[in-house]
Structure 1
Amino acid sequence: MVKEKKKSLGKGLAALIGDLGEAEARNLNPSEIKTEGVKIPIEYLEPSRNQPRKTFDEDSINELAQSIKEKGILLPILVRPLEEKKYQIIAGERRWRAAQKANLHEIPVVIKDLEENEVLEIALIENIQREDLTAIEEASGLNRLLVEHHYTQKDLSKIIGKSRSNIANTLRLLSLPHKVQDFVQRKILTAGHARSLVGLENALSIAQFAIKKKMSVRQLEQYVNYVKNKINIKSSSGNTKKDPNTLAIEKSLSDHLGLTVTIKKKRGEQGELKVVYKNFEQLDYIIKRLNK
């Protein structure tokens, strides 16, 4: 059973971490900036295992570090107390990393006693609102709230302000092979590409083919639909699976001729190319094309 306090953090997030990010805060006058909190030695802070974001852009961190050298940290970092003068970062790990590069010895913080699920929720919301997460990081964070803290998709929808169908589609990305997830994590493929591949048995080979051919999301969606149709035909005929390159050639020839073309490999380099016509008019069209 999800406790009510789990559902209250979404609206109260601004009160904890502020409505603005560090970059937006730098455009305000000093009198407009909220700087409540205390300063503690930077070595007392440690990152949270609940941080959904797994990668940080080094150039962005360096830019922020330079800005911190000039103006300091304008928004306190949200932390919770641990044992022996240690504090765990809940929101603001990027600022903490940049502060280290800027050689700061102390850092402003706001200290709050929060539960594990609240820490994960706040970290997830902060990153989603500021669009800092990849689709895989977001899906992993949502899944942890579901599995480890017994949230429902309805709870998550209220917390992050997205529809339940959007959340369900995001979570489905975790069913993709780990290598495909890594392509998304490294931004080789977009979330749109990944969504097209969900549910495909040969998702990895198709993903690799899409990368090689530099397919757009739309092109991949069209190719996936073609593959699915081929799979249905093969299932009914009992034929063996074809590799993505063969399917791509079939699609290219079919599109070029406006007729159904299939390729069947045999032993060695031998094979058959089959063009299907529905009437004599189409047959005449094929003959004319071949005689050109």
Structure 2
Amino acid sequence: MDKNIKQDILDILKKSQEITKEGKTVLIDQISEIFDQYKEPVSKLLWVPINTILPNGYNPNKMATPEKHLLLRSMLDHGITLPLVVSAKQQQHYMLIDGYHRWNLIKKSKVLQHRLDHKVPVVILDLPKTERIVATIQHNRARGKHQIGEIGKVVKTLSANGWSSSKIMEALGMDADEVLRLKQFKGLGELYKDGDYSQSWR
């Protein structure tokens, strides 16, 4: 790379605090295109203040205390290796989709807060609420243990938003029996409400 061009790029980046959020988004898009980056969310990683991120109220993934200590130790020793996944910014805040335990541990760690300058890496998924709920489950279903009461609430929410049992099965990676058991949290009267349930699911 020509030395003058390289210096020009460095000078622009040094002034990045003067660039608007919209300008930064455009710049990231252009850099991704120039360097032939894949058109994936992770190609547009941003660092945002941790206090602009809010937890969602539907994450059924629970982590035991020993695993929390291990996760914290890993971040302290090896750094942040995975970005948080958040929704598009609304009313000055992002809503967490994936990464609750990392976000929570960073918020509580003075060492990490200081080291990261109170910021965290994020990638943004611009999705409607029901799709955000599904994305949360898809991201963490295989990584942790879901509490049946919490995952039941998720199934209830999706069902209340018009999702059929077969669509819930496909989106959350469940079988028919699991969906039916979880729908019991809605009450036995609604258990067989969906007309798309049949023995052919088995």
TM-score when scaled to structure 1? Answer: 0.44
Q: Secondary structure at the match of 2:87?
A: strand
| Residue 87 of structure 2 corresponds to residue 42 of structure 1 | no
Work out the CA distance in 1 between the residues paired with 2:139 and 2:183: 19
- Give the 3 Å change call, closer, same or farther, for CA 66–131 of structure 1 in structure 2: closer
Instruction: Note the 1:252-267 alignment, pairs <5 A.
Output: none
Count of paired positions: 143
Work out the CA distance in 2 between the residues paired with 1:99 and 1:71: 14
TM-superposed deviation, 1:57: 3.1
TM-superposed deviation, 1:174: 5.7
| Residue 184 of structure 2 corresponds to residue 172 of structure 1 | yes
TM-superposed deviation, 1:168: 0.6
Aligned to 2:127: 114
Q: Secondary structure at the match of 1:129?
A: coil
- Give the 3 Å change call, closer, same or farther, for CA 60–175 of structure 1 in structure 2: farther
One-letter code aligned to 2:140: N
Contact 1:62 1:101 (8 Å CA) reproduced: no
Aligned to 1:162: 174
Q: Which has the higher Rg, Structure 1 or Structure 2?
A: 1
1:38-84 C-alpha deviation (Å, 9 max, x unpaired): 1111111110123234x543442232112111112211111113334
Higher relative contact order (CA 8 A, sep 6+): 2
- Give the 3 Å change call, closer, same or farther, for CA 133–113 of structure 1 in structure 2: same
Which runs of 5 or more residues in structure 1 are unaligned? 1-14, 17-33, 177-292
Contact 2:153 2:185 (8 Å CA) reproduced: no
One-letter code aligned to 2:90: E
Instruction: Note the 1:6-17 alignment, pairs <5 A.
Output: none
Work out the CA distance in 1 between the residues paired with 2:163 and 2:128: 14
Q: Quick one: which of 153, 175, 194 aligns to 2:165?
A: 153
Work out the CA distance in 2 between the residues paired with 1:44 and 1:168: 37
Contact 2:60 2:151 (8 Å CA) reproduced: yes
Work out the CA distance in 2 between the residues paired with 1:83 and 1:162: 31
Contact 2:87 2:125 (8 Å CA) reproduced: yes
Contact 2:85 2:98 (8 Å CA) reproduced: yes
Compute the RMSD of aligned alpha carbons. 2.4
- Give the 3 Å change call, closer, same or farther, for CA 65–36 of structure 1 in structure 2: farther
Aligned to 2:100: 93
- Give the 3 Å change call, closer, same or farther, for CA 35–82 of structure 1 in structure 2: closer
- Give the 3 Å change call, closer, same or farther, for CA 143–40 of structure 1 in structure 2: same
Work out the CA distance in 2 between the residues paired with 1:146 and 1:83: 25
Work out the CA distance in 2 between the residues paired with 1:64 and 1:86: 25
Aligned to 1:80: 87
**Sequence identity percentage:** 22
Work out the CA distance in 1 between the residues paired with 2:124 and 2:71: 23
